[in-house]
Amino acid sequence: MPSQLLTESNSPLTREQADELSRVVQGLRNDQITWLSGYLAGLSAAATAGAPAAAQEGAPISAEAPELTILYGSQTGNAEEVAQQAARKAEERGFQPQILDMADCNKPKLKAASRLLVVVSTHGEGEAPDNATELHELVHSKKAPPLKDAKFSVLALGDTSYEHFCQTGRDFDTRLEALGAERVHPRVDCDVDFEEAAEAWIDGAIEALAGELDAPPSPSNVVAFGPVHHGAEQPSAYSKKNPFQAELLENLVLNGRGSAKETRHIELSLEDSGLTWEPGDSLGVLPENNPREVEDVLAALGFSGDEPVEGPRGEVDLREGLTHDYEITTLTRPFLQSWAQLVETEELTALLAEDQRDELRDWLWGRHVIDVLQTWPASGLAAQDFLGYLRKLPARLYSIASSCSANPDEVHLTIAAVRYDAHGREREGVASTWLADRVADDTPVRVYVDHNKNFKLPADGDAPIIMIGPGTGVAPFRAFIEERETQGAAGRNWLFFGDQRFQTDFLYQRDWLRWREKGLLERVDVAFSRDQADKVYVQDRLRENARDLYAWLVDGAYVYVCGDADYMAPDVHQALVDVIAEQGGLSQDDAAGWLGQLQKDKRYQRDVY
């Protein structure tokens, strides 16, 4: 809230304008003021340029301002958001930033970048995200340009539960230096809870690059810390840091009796939240740990659970902190390294050696934090100190299975409940079993929308789409078809779905058949792997329909793949290459290049995990 009211004497406004604006601003929250400042900055920039407000963001920048290139590689959009945040900060500091998608960065553009910030995530087990693949290959090839005049810094996004944590960011950091560029600020590797670390990196990296700039930031160049929104509708105030507390509306098992799987259809109320989304976006869910797991951890450490501790939400007792705020199941390498130092065990230390990565991976399977506490117990550890060994309980992202246009006040999810036995204990997925078993009608479910800019329906409603989504990977395609039905889109739609058995595992069968009868779904091809002696998967159906599939691609179809990243996605990718090679009369390399061009044109999009 402003400390001084506006008047006609301390502003260029008339008395009536100043009085009216003061009345409005005095009633706003901080997040609303931030949004309004961005909106006004956008209007100012547009007025200066004589262009529509929606065409520009931020205030004009001097032509003499030093250029700064901000490269991003992102699978879900997080790296792009950080890049935009860095650009706003760079403008404040007097730079002229250019945000560049790695898919659009070729050799000349990379060579021309004298100041370079790189924000890149790691996808799967150490792989570059789809839009970063070509640039990653370029910098590691003999064709990589010399960068002896460049200064750079890298922010790597990742997840410590994966073996090759932040590998893509490490790769770029190493190669840029090897190509002659000067690292002016150390690389920062971020876990899933990356926001604070990213902000600190942005500040440090930009200040390091601004070493030769003596002038402080110009007030005319300061822009809002957040996206500029144009139009009258105010965005929702709810976010990852301030989640909305949704209510459960529906919890149904989608599988039939006798299925080996347990897939849940969850509906949550978003009434009065203001949250909106597009097909392809995900819902972030902040879950709670199983009380049984919490009690086992407390018992292993000799704590009562009533010990007061300081956590992310302030002072709470240890039991509440372990339930709501900290990861107590998934094991990460940083936790194991810290624990090995604490208990001084040679066995665990040896397991963490670089040449034991395969053995460690095998040992980690099916084990949780409790296994480490029981195998290598620690004595005399304070409750607060124990929390320092744990990472924050990360949100779980689920593809939204409903259209906001069709169901604006509720959101649908398709969730596979994870349950298995390992090493003498029953194991459960944290969020999936919390939603399946312990969320009652009056249990608040903390949620926010995670926007995925890289998995979106074509802007042209007449464009044909091909959707490949086995298992729960079919979720976003339910949203796609609901959206196309609501919007009256005329484009043809083709679904490939797969699971174990037709009788028990045809998820949303009634919906697909209804849309098929209405003509909205032109084709549905299914693969049920356990219904015959030889297993059949969606990639097999792609090859069986090679001629028609290729015809759709030539006709401008967009291809979407959602689901398992380790096996399904690579197999589907290879099947698409094979179809293009066979039907187009191309070599494997040329077919792969053809598919790669579709990816650059945003006609081949993947949401795999």
pLDDT computed for residue 50 by the predictor: 38
Determine the angle formed by the axes of helices 509-518 and 475-487, rounding to 10 degrees. Answer: 30
What are the phi and psi torsion angles at 528 (to 5°)?
Answer: -110, 110
pLDDT computed for residue 555 by the predictor: 97
Summarised one tens digit per residue, pLDDT across range 409-448 is 999 999 999 999 999 999 999 999 999 999 999 999 999 9
Report the first-to-last Cα separation within the chain, whole angstroms. Answer: 42
Summarised one tens digit per residue, pLDDT across range 249-298 is 999 999 999 999 999 999 999 999 999 999 999 999 999 999 999 999 99
The β-bridge partners of 69 are: 98, 116
pLDDT computed for residue 8 by the predictor: 47
Summarised one tens digit per residue, pLDDT across range 314-328 is 999 999 999 999 999
* 86 touches 79 (CB < 8 A): no
Task: Residue 272: name the closest of 291, 293, 244 by CA.
Answer: 244
| Rounded CA separation 604/116 (Å) | 28
* 87 touches 118 (CB < 8 A): no
Q: How far is CA 472 from CA 82, 322, 398, 400, 594, in A?
A: 29, 29, 10, 11, 29
Tokens of residue 340, six digits: 């090995």
* 73 touches 121 (CB < 8 A): yes
| Rounded CA separation 563/126 (Å) | 18
pLDDT computed for residue 327 by the predictor: 96
| Rounded CA separation 112/147 (Å) | 9
pTM check: above 0.85: no
pLDDT computed for residue 382 by the predictor: 97
Residue 441 has a CB neighbour count (10 Å cut-off) of 8
Task: Please identify every stretch of the chain with a pLDDT value under 50, giving residue numbers as ranges.
Answer: 1-5, 7-10, 15, 29, 31, 42-59, 61, 215, 218-233
- Pinpoint the alpha helices (H) of 210-317: 291-301
pLDDT computed for residue 224 by the predictor: 37
Tokens of residue 576, six digits: 């698409």
pLDDT computed for residue 47 by the predictor: 41
